Structure 1
Amino acid sequence: MFLSTSSSFLLATILVALTLKQTNAQLSASFYATTCPNVSSIVINVIQQALQSDPRIGASLTRLHFHDCFVDGCDGSLLLDSTASIQSEKNAGPNTNSTRGFNVVDNIKTAVESSCPGVVSCADILALAAESSVSLAGGPSWNVLLGRRDSLTANQAGANTSIPSPFESLSNITAKFAAVGLNTNDLVALSGAHTFGRAQCRLFSNRLYNFSGTGNPDSTLSTSYLATLQQTCPQNGAGFNVANLDPTTPNGFDNNYYTNLQNNQGLLQSDQELFSTSGASTISIVNTFSGDQTAFFQAFVQSMINMGNISPLTGSNGEIRADCKKVNGS
């Protein structure tokens, strides 16, 4: 078929527009379809191996993705070690002596580099690791959107202020979610990741003995659950013992987290406040997810995709790190 001059011009204009759109495109599930088609299976295999000796690792890897995305976007900045010019986010308050799984990320990166050198970013590895971890624990699976590049620096100060704290009020946490474009439904859905994993006593022991200076435990804790937690976390203990975030199915990804909240068995203050804050819009969402696991899974997938879209570096921004712990050439 032959095209007129005007038609040829129109076609050329469309092609240029499409090229620009692709250049500025956000993320795509098929980003590595030709350059590293096996990347997902590589990630899964490494995590499966790690799970054999560490049942907590899936929750820990999911948390790394969360803590990375909330600081200047999903750019792998959390993975950088300190240097003369970089203050590592690993040493920020929400991360120090708390975030874990960096060795597994390094193992994934090594395996990916062996198959597809210089192609897959550390930021994308975090996103893929989170999806694999959730799926392997019995949760939903989804097509991870990919194409992120890695940051050239870290933001320790930002990590100290941007990552939601278990001690904060619901209104403060909601504001932190809103600051990165996530809404209340995202907040409740993503909090459901606390359906697996552990938390250190120091992150909730204030609820067990002297909550808000009252001299009494947090009244929103069930008395039986309180007694169990006090055994795990003695009043003058060091604070590094761990308790299951979900006392019912601690290693499985399900909707029991929300039923726990209804039963006053949310481990962290920030968990229980989703249900126990009077008049909060989060209460009805908790009730929905508690009664309908499919609804929770669908919402969780969408919210993980939403979170994964926070300010990614794409195109020529950033780099593809050869080693997730350091910028190239350092």
Structure 2
Amino acid sequence: MPDQTRSEAIAKTWPATPSSVRHQFGPGLVATYGLPAVVIALFLLLWQVLPGLFGVPAYDLPNLGSTLSGLQQDWPDIGTALMVTLQDALAGFLLGNVLAVMGATAFAYSPALERAFYPIAIIVQTIPVIVYAPLLDILFFKLPLVRSAPEAASIVGVSVLISFFPTLVNMTVGFKAIDPQIHELMRLLNASRTQIFCKLRFPSAMPFLFSSLKITSTLAFVGAVVGEYMVGGGFNPLGHALSSAGLQSFLGFQTNPANGAGIGYQMFTFYARLDKPGMFADVLAVSVMSTLFFGLMVVAERVFVPWRTGE
């Protein structure tokens, strides 16, 4: 190959890699991370300045500095409650999404089942979240399986219910959003229902699944906090394990509290004793935790559904 032709060929193929690099480290990086960081910084600045600017007393609306001070002062209690809430939310998130995927699978293979039970799922979703906790507490108190810890079961149940519906709807649509030509080809090749599900339906529904997971990753925390606010104690097997391992001093808080209360109940306690900085510190702590969990779902989507994110 002549040198000029070789140079032209290299020149045509060379921009591919720098373009990808520029997308990751150039304007694309600024648009993806820079703008949200600026907005968050502006929000924190306004939080710090506006209460004093308008003469709002700290016992009504603590600024960012007072909230961080309350977080530092009450961290032993907040850290304990946050760990309980994390477990409540994770348990509800996992169970709710698993049940939703199972329900959507049943709907995909049985239109009659979908017509029968889909309206019930809609009706359950219209019930206010705050009503779930006391109803489930009464129900679980009668069930032998969870009678020993009805409060924890009802809190997880609220998180399950609030996580269930978005995934059920999205996955029901996702399982049907398959290429009909590929589906017909697999049937002509005598593929079984299991093979069609594993090779076609589920991969086609993966973008819908991760859209649901990103939504429910934050809703699960909402359900857990509401449930804890209403009934008190939470789900804390990790706390028992960490306490047995002697890691309480390393974490800086008690991992196995006597009351097992989460952030929701602690917010109620702080509010009752007019500790507004402590209450806002609870809100800040659970917001950061749920945001990190949402970010984890975004990373998981990039790993498992790269064609969705364009990478």
TM superposition score normalised by structure 2:
0.25
Which one has a bigger Cα radius of gyration?
2
TM superposition score normalised by structure 1:
0.24
